[in-house]
Amino acid sequence: MISAKRLIEMAKKWQKMATGNRKRISYPRNQVDMHSSSAANKGHFVVYSVDHKRFVVPLKYLSMNIFKELLRWAEEEFGLPSNGPITLPCDGVFLDYVMSLVQERITEDVEKALITSMIACHHEASSSCSDHGLRQSKDPIIVYGF
Amino acid sequence: MLSELMNFLRACFRPGSDGFARSGSDAGGRQDGLLWYKDSGQHLNGEFSMAVVQANNLLEDQSQIESGSLSSNESGPYGTFIGVYDGHGGPETSRFINDHLFHHLKRFTSEQQSMSVDVIRKALQATEEGFMSVVARQWSIAPQIAAVGSCCLVGVICNGTLYIANLGDSRAVLGRAVKATGEVLAMQLSTEHNASIESIRQELHSMHPDDPNIVVLKHNVWRVKGLIQVSRSIGDVYLKKAEFNREPLYAKFRLRDPIKRPILSSDPSISVHHLQPHDQFIIFASDGLWEHLSNQQAVDIVQNNPRSGSARKLVKAALQEAAKKREMRYSDLKKIDRGVRRHFHDDITVIVVYLDSNLMSRASTVKFPSISVRGGGVNLPHNTLAPCTTPT
């Protein structure tokens, strides 16, 4: 189990990377399941990261504050989606990280710390967190990672 | 940093906006999880079917069907009144319309001793003014009510004439039989006011020639002042009067320049249709339905299913489409509780009104036991997964 302190350190590091533009990695498109129209397995829903990575998430995660907060954040950033799947305003690396924490049975403190760091990122780097993912260009998608 | 965080969190949670108690007479409706329905009822000119599915934490869609006397005294004229009110920013405005519009309509019908476009226009205007005075009264204690509004779709059937009045993006669609082919074709009766429509954007630009940013495209959605998709509504007084677009209203609703003239209009589009024997039914629904079904798809569903439960069939078809777009199963979508559900679909209200040609000729003076049904909803504490959803 990751302690809250360790998590805050990790989140801060991630945030620094994301805002500082220091390290860029490219995300090959062929890893990405581009808007597959197939329905998720029973008991799951689907979200996409801004870099088009598809996440199949158990329905029960919707009762967790971290997912409620991510959805609220998505609504603030993009409005409610009308004709397609849900896109969350963060990149695949971050969502992978959230999913791994949740799978490790995140404690309330850790969840709170994660939300705090997310919100800080939303404030300080919302443009860099979200803009590039929506751009419809042929360039390789650049995401910020650890 | 901490204060910034608190402000952000505060901005995320809307204030308690349950200021009005529901006073609906939910005659005969049934609740199944987040779905409310009244499969069948009788109005003066035929049958009707009604269904509502809730997505928001507090149901923002309100609706009613009233049949019987359309005036304050029982001498008539008689007919049927249908209302679909799709609220935004909270449920206060749509509830207010549900509680007041029909009474205003009856009052003006009595005064003028007949139904007319003028009666409907005056009733809507009185409702708008009534809500504005509520905002003025509450402004000092709950200023956010200034940012609550509602679309308003009204149908009145009286003396073989159908009046359709609309503000916003709900829609009324007629199913009309084509004698030669036996097909039932969809005919849209209402004019919509959503900035996604080019003519609406042109209208906004011509009414606000000095403001190049009157309508802006944000994340592929056109919004008036970057704030709202509809250009006409009841409420939303923060975009109608300068005195309600200032502190203590949340900064995100405040405009940089003071409002010189109303940005949103409260002037309804009203049309009059003379009903014909081959007019089969009218579908009244909030945009929650129409974002998933075309007019003709909806008419086909009504035409190809039993009258009883047709509204529920339409809601189900829309939810199945919503599930497909969200890449999940319909059976799973139905398990998601209100609040979180708004990320998967909108509140959806449907009223299907059948027009029985035998009953249409019924004189408007014939007495009919009056009926009054309102679309329901849940306002109880909740979990994220709905406690009781049985598949339909």
CB nearest to A42's CB, from B1, B332, B384: B332
Tell me the C-alpha distance between B259 and B207, whole Å: 13
> Coil, strand or helix: which one is A57?
strand
pLDDT surpasses 70 at B388: no
Tell me the C-alpha distance between B288 and A30, whole Å: 35
Question: Quick check: B12 and A85 CB within 8 A?
Answer: no
Tell me the C-alpha distance between B209 and B222, whole Å: 18
Per-residue pLDDT of chain A (146 residues; tens, 9 = 90+): 455 566 556 655 555 555 444 333 434 333 344 445 578 889 999 999 999 999 999 999 999 888 999 999 899 888 888 788 999 998 999 899 888 888 877 677 777 777 777 766 655 444 444 443 333 333 333 433 33
- Quote the DSSP letter at residue B91: S
- Residue B383 contacts A, CB cutoff 8 Å: yes
Provide the whole-model pTM.
0.82
pLDDT of B6:
39
Where does B196-286 have alpha helices with state H? 198-207
Q: Which residues of A touch B318 (CB under 8 A)?
A: none
**Do residues B42 and B50 touch, judged by C-beta distance below 8 A?**
no
- Reported as a pLDDT band with limits 50, 70 and 90, residue B90 is very high
- Residue A40 contacts B, CB cutoff 8 Å: yes
**Residue in A closest to B332 by C-alpha:** A43
Q: Which residues of A touch B346 (CB under 8 A)?
A: 80
Tell me the C-alpha distance between B301 and B356, whole Å: 18
Extended beta strands in chain A, E state: 24-27, 44-48, 54-58, 86-87, 141-144
Tell me the C-alpha distance between B86 and A131, whole Å: 32
Quick: pLDDT tens for A81-118.
878 899 999 899 989 988 888 887 767 777 777 777 77
Q: Which residues of A touch B5 (CB under 8 A)?
A: 116, 119-120, 123
- A83 half-sphere exposure, CB direction, 13 A CA radius: 6
ipTM, two decimals, is: 0.77
Rounding to the nearest 10 degrees, give the CA dihedral for residues B227, B229, B231, B237.
-40
- Residue A131 contacts B, CB cutoff 8 Å: no
The pair of three-digit structure tokens given for residue A37, joined into one six-digit string: 């129209």
- Measured in angstroms, the CA of A43 and the nearest CA of chain B are apart by 6
DSSP letters for B142-153: -GGGGG-EE-EE
Question: Quick check: A85 and B326 CB within 8 A?
Answer: yes
Query: How deeply is A2 buried, as exposed, middle or buried, from its count of CB atoms within 10 A (0-12, 13-18, 19+)?
Result: middle
- Residue A83 contacts B, CB cutoff 8 Å: yes
**Do residues B266 and B125 touch, judged by C-beta distance below 8 A?**
yes
Query: How deeply is A29 buried, as exposed, middle or buried, from its count of CB atoms within 10 A (0-12, 13-18, 19+)?
Result: exposed
